[in-house]
A and B are shown apart, each in its own frame.
Chain A
Amino acid sequence: MAQKKTFKTIQEINQKIRQGKVVVVTADEMADIVRKKGPEKAAREIDVVTTGTFAPMCSSGAFINFGHSKPPIKALRVWLNGVQAYAGLAAVDVYLGATEAVKDDPLNKIYPGQFKYGGGHVIHDLVAGKKITLKATAYGTDCYPNQLVEKRVTLADLPSAMLLNPRNAYQNYNCAVNLGKKTIYTYMGVLKPNAGNANYATSGQLSPLLNDPFYLTMGLGTRIFLGGAQGYIIGPGTQHNPKAKRGKNGLPLTPAGTLMVMGDLKGMKPEWIAGASLLGYGCSLAVGIGVPIPIINEQMARFTGVSDEDIVTQIIDYGNDYPRGETKSLGQVNYAELKSGTIRFRGEDVPAVPMSSYVKALKIARILKGWIEKGDFFLTEPQVMLPTVPF
């Protein structure tokens, strides 16, 4: 299909936001609107569709500058509440990764490990305004002689704290089952043997990248909802793969696009950015993301009109195949089936279990809609688009 002529620009939409005339709907509402009115009419009437997702996203973390002490230190190793941060940066800059577990965590030595506290929890505590203990050690230099700093700090005390997540908001993801003989503990949750349950992890029709499957409206500089504040897409996430196999409707059938996102931790809310403990797997960070999609033409109306039954994913065995590095599809399933609570797999009913919060995803889409309607949030023009493929 040829790209339709643009008939609404981002500037025009922003003008409408300023005038209080903008029409915003959430992605689930858009599915109904497009079904009833068709994409042409929907594109005329609707200006922005808001999306949302809330789930553990392991590839997350924060760049933190903890400020100079007197005498100053060039930190070699740094721990925040006992969780080590990467200090191979300038003197008091560190990167705190979401999956780093607290030191002395028994990890999986007591199987399945509980991973009660890690980098994601430190980020959560900071955002919640809690005091945390920062410890830095160093070898000492002529200009930075200090060899040990230990202090209690809050987010407000930190000169800067920037969430920067290398890979979030996966466009589509596997549906996981376990064909093995014992229960396994994975990043897709607890999987009971003999396909006792089927776990899935996207918000389906609300998911940002499933509403813009070719990334035609987003790229570096797109302003988004991130952790309860305004943040930005800063590029394709790691493993971004636009070339994944797609269905006739253009939607990828396997994990495909991803986003790299950034935002100031100081504006975020603990409800939307929270530490997570994945039993037997590790620590993580649950991240809330909402991307506004400008309905610049009929094509975008059609894309955002996507509903759960249009989105298909693959059933993958995490018991035997996945640990061997294989991702052979055992069958396909759509999100309407998954959300119904049971799927048919090999002639049997299998309970379907979400890892991603639909309730929170919908709340995010609604909050973002509210921000735009009130004129608290303006759309931005992406400066560099994400790598894509022709439709």
Chain B
Amino acid sequence: MYSKILALRFPEEIVDEPITVNLVRNFDLSFSILKATIYPRKEGFMVLELSGEKSAFQKGVRYLKDLGVKVESIGQDIRRDDEKCFQCGACTAVCPTGALHIKRPEMEVLFDKDRCVACELCVSACMARAMSVTFDKTLLS
């Protein structure tokens, strides 16, 4: 199961397209709308969480883009729950940027948010499940 929170911007011409219905019917995706607005200039903006098979997800996103919808993955934010973290270091095997790294000789496992690219690889690789994805809630307000 693959799931991502996406921000969609629609040009005026397609605001009325039943796009969510098509995503469900043609791509077997499920969604939940977190926010939907139509701005004064008739441009639509929607934040939705889209889930399904990874390949179907990718096809769905292509369908949206072909329609002229601007698709952005929303400011994802990776957090570490320091209370849950074992300070083991296992995550450093998967972190591609060194955001999760070990300070030596103390062997402390540090999380440097600035180096994190939100690839999410650590989320399931962390044995303590201390790493989680949140998203930028300010977009919903």
Contact = CB atoms under 8 A, between A and B. Distances in A.
Report if A and B associate in a common complex: yes
Contacts of B18: none
A274 B128 contact: yes
Contact of B107 (A277, A279, A284, A359): A359
Contacts of B88: 54-55, 354-357, 360
A2 interface: no
B86 interface: yes
Interface in A250-280: 274, 276-279
B94 interface: yes
Nearest to A308: B105
Contacts of A360: 86-88
A276 B127 contact: yes
A189 interface: yes
A197 B87 contact: no
Interface in A332-385: 339-341, 351, 353-360
B86 A286 contact: yes
Given A274-B128, A339-B104, A341-B102, A359 B109 contact: yes
A284 B127 contact: yes
A190 interface: yes
User: Which bracket fits the contact residues of B?
Assistant: 20 to 34
A106 to B, nearest CB: 9
A286 B127 contact: yes
Contacts of A278: 127
Contacts of A351: 92-93
Contact of B124 (A114, A340, A356): A114
Which of B89, B102, B108, B129 has the most chain A CB atoms closer than 10 A to its own CB?
A: B89
Interface residues of A, number: 32
A354 B127 contact: no
Contacts of B84: 274
Contacts of A274: 84, 86, 128
A240 B107 CA distance: 29
B125 interface: yes
A354 B128 contact: no
Given A197-B93, A354-B88, A279 B124 contact: yes
Contacts of A284: 127
B7 to A, nearest CB: 27
Interface of A: 54-56, 110, 112, 114, 116, 189-192, 197, 199, 274, 276-279, 284, 286, 339-341, 351, 353-360
The 4 closest A-B pairs by CB, nearest first: A358-B107, A359-B87, A354-B89, A353-B93
Given A190-B90, A354-B89, 19 more contacts: A56-B127, A189-B90, A189-B93, A192-B93, A274-B84, A274-B86, A274-B128, A276-B86, A279-B124, A340-B104, A354-B88, A354-B90, A355-B127, A356-B88, A357-B87, A357-B88, A359-B108, A359-B109, A360-B87
